[in-house]
Amino acid sequence: KRDLSYLKELDGAGDRLRIFPADLNSPESFPPAIEDCIGVFHVAHPTDIIDKEYEETVLGRVITAAKTILTACAKSGTVKRVVYTSTLYAVTARETYGQDLMEESDWSDVEFVRRSDDFSVPYVAVKTLTEKFVWELGRELGLDLVSVCPTVTTGPFITPYLPSSVKASLSLIYG
């Protein structure tokens, strides 16, 4: 079991926070957390970039998680909107980036990205393929879906460890 004391110690957590067990391998673990909610924020999945095998290893896991969560939202009967947190890398990694205006049908070109030797290839591929899947399934399930594509997530954090995005931001300042 993970230590969640940092969540329980947040201001107001005693009155407003309920923690539910969730297991991506047990789809039945999600509906209790979503029950009676009108909005769901799908905010994160693993982003540690190790090597090219990351794409194969992580893609199946995050697709399963997204499918489980979106299906539970659709079945809830109460969820009115789902906000999915993606990344600018899901839409900007393509040969034509910067040459035209971007809109909802623009995506990163996964094949273009895979031809690169950049360390971020697996991350970009996973985020792009996952967001495409989320939109397809969201439409299929009739969900009102919004996607947010931040450039970088930084600032105060509540986890007991330093998130990689905050560490990267601090390295710009401190070297």
Instruction: Spell out where the chain has E strands.
Output: 39-42, 81-85, 145-148
Choice among 8, 67, 127, 132 that is catalytic: 127
Give the pair of three-digit tokens for residue 94: 């393509």
Residue 90 contacts residue 131 (beta carbons within 8 Å):
yes
Give the pair of three-digit tokens for residue 85: 């947190």
Q: Is 167 a catalytic residue?
A: no
Give the pair of three-digit tokens for residue 105: 């049908």
Residue 24 contacts residue 64 (beta carbons within 8 Å):
yes
121: closest CA among 84, 100, 129? 129
Residues carrying an active site annotation? 127
